[in-house]
Amino acid sequence: MVGLRKALAVLGLMAIGAVPAAAGWDEAMAAYREGRYGEAVEGFAAGAEMQPEDARWHYMLGLALVGAGRPGRAVGSLERALEIEPGVRHALPLAQAQIKAGVPGEALGTLDRYRPGAEAGEEEAVDRWAGLVAVAAGTVEDAGAAVPLLAAAIERRPGSRDLRLALGRAHAREGDHGAAFEAYAAAFEIGNGGAVDAAGALAIRSAFDAAEAGAEGRHEWYRRAADVAGRLPVEGAPVAHLLLAGDALLLADRPAAAEERFAAVAALEAGNPVARYQLARCRLALDDPEAALEHLEQAEARDPDPDLRRRVFTTRAEALADLERYEAAADAYRRAGDGTRAAQMDEAAAAKIHNDEVERERERCRQEWARIAGLRDRNRDVEGTAVWAEIDRQAAHLEAECGPPPEQNATR
């Protein structure tokens, strides 16, 4: 804003043209240039009273009032200058004063009515006009009212990241998160060149908001967020961006890429429990529950907040369930406050005990049938004797306990 204010001040001085004949102009201009705005205000006010139809006095009085920190009073003088001589050169300082006076809606109206044309002098004011549109749009109460003018400004300056960021914020304030994503993503494309880019992070957040707004198409929004996240830098990126990018990649089923971001956070902030928790989620998605448990142990040791602690125990339960350690999984779910899934794990633990017992019995039966088969093979030469009868008796007893031999079960 400082650079813009200086630029508008220069524009104002360049646009004045011929010096008015009224006395006091030179003194007032000297005071203005030297930053003695109080004196400048007095001088220009006197001239405006003497020559009320000369726009230049009102114009400079408005600029001096802005310099003196009195934008509310400046608005009236600049409006009078614009009334006498309509045009962009007077409209831009007026819009700036309206923004500083806390009436950005009026500034948007001014900027909408006075759009720079293609004629000489006005085309070079487009950048300043577009900059004011972006600033006013960011503070106006009715964000939706700013959207058409922002779109018009983008048409004139399609390469402006600031305009697209302002358009994204306007859409976000209106709750149109899909449109906000498009604007932020376009800003990201303009600025994406390896530097850490806040536009990309804003695009990811908007995609998340759009996904949360409705289940339909949710995964597609995650995919689009991940496409942006995959192009955000890892080296030199702030922790907040790394965590956001990792979330997007993990939600889009790209755990290996997400793991790289969370590992970078863990390297930057060894005590960050969120990074360890998310690394566990990545390891779990990559079918490595043992490594996930190690990360979760480190996350818990880093004193997470209550909500993260609950998620740590939930994820621990999932990892333990993958390892078929159902009793431990049930305990973890209880510590997470999830009694329903804890009961399910208790049932799974009981079922596993039963199944393990069944499998042990089956293995005993297989071994016994193998023993009977071995006895018969070794005693073929005494078939029909008492020895053979004893083998048959053992086989009958075993069949009563275990069912037919495995080879007969296989043929059924």
| Chain segment 236-266, per-residue pLDDT in tens | 889 999 999 999 999 999 999 999 999 999 9
Q: What is the pLDDT of residue 70?
A: 96
pLDDT at 376 over 70: yes
CA angle 274, 247, 288 (to 5 degrees): 75
Radius of gyration of the chain (CA): 38
Q: Which residues contact 91 (CB under 8 A, 6 or more apart)?
A: 82, 110, 111, 113, 114
Q: What angle do CA 67, 71, 76 make, to 5 degrees?
A: 115
For 224, counting Cβ atoms within 10 Å of its Cβ (0-12 exposed, 13-18 middle, 19+ buried), the class is buried
Token duo for residue 276: 């360890």
* Cβ atoms within 10 Å of 199's Cβ, excluding its own: 23
- Yes or no: say if 138 and 105 are a contact pair by the CB < 8 Å rule: no
- What's the pLDDT score for residue 7? 42
Report the C-alpha gap between 331 and 28 in whole angstroms.
81
Question: In sequence order, which residues have a C-beta less than 8 Å from that of residue 288 and are 6 or more positions away?
Answer: none
Side-chain-facing half-sphere of 268: CA atoms under 13 Å: 18
- pLDDT above 50 for 4: no
> Exposure string (b/e) for 39-74, b if CB count within 10 Å is 16 or more?
bbbbbbbbbbeebeebbbbbbbbbbbbbbbebbebb
Q: Residue 4 region, left (φ>0) first, then alpha (ψ -120 to 50), else beta?
A: alpha
What confidence score (pLDDT) does residue 215 get? 56
Q: In angstroms, rounded to a whole number, what is the distance separating the alpha carbons of residues 366 and 375?
A: 14
In degrees, to the nearest 5, what angle opens at C-alpha 378 toward C-alphas 374 and 380? 115
| CA–CA dist 261, 237 (Å, integer) | 10
Q: CA-CA distance, 275 to 280, in Å (whole number)? A: 9
CA dihedral sign, ordered 116, 121, 126, 132: negative
Specify the higher pLDDT residue, 73 or 384.
73
Residue 192 has a pLDDT of 60
Separation CA 64–CA 366 (nearest Å): 101
Q: What is the pLDDT of residues 118-142, one digit of tens each?
A: 776 778 889 999 999 999 999 999 9
Task: Phi first, then psi: give them for residue 194, nearest 5 degrees.
Answer: 105, -20
**pLDDT tens by residue, 295-342:** 999 999 998 999 999 999 999 999 999 999 999 999 999 999 999 999
pLDDT in tens, 139-151: 999 999 899 999 9
CA–CA distance, 357 with 336 (Å, rounded to integer): 31
Alpha helices in 323-338 (DSSP H): 326-335
pLDDT surpassing 80 at residue 86: yes
d(CA 67, CA 164): 30
How long a stretch of residues is the chain?
Answer: 412
Whole-angstrom distance, CA of residue 282 vs CA of residue 248: 12
Q: What is the per-residue pLDDT across 186-202, written as a single tens digit (0 to 9) for each?
A: 999 987 654 457 899 99
- Structure tokens belonging to residue 21: 């004949």
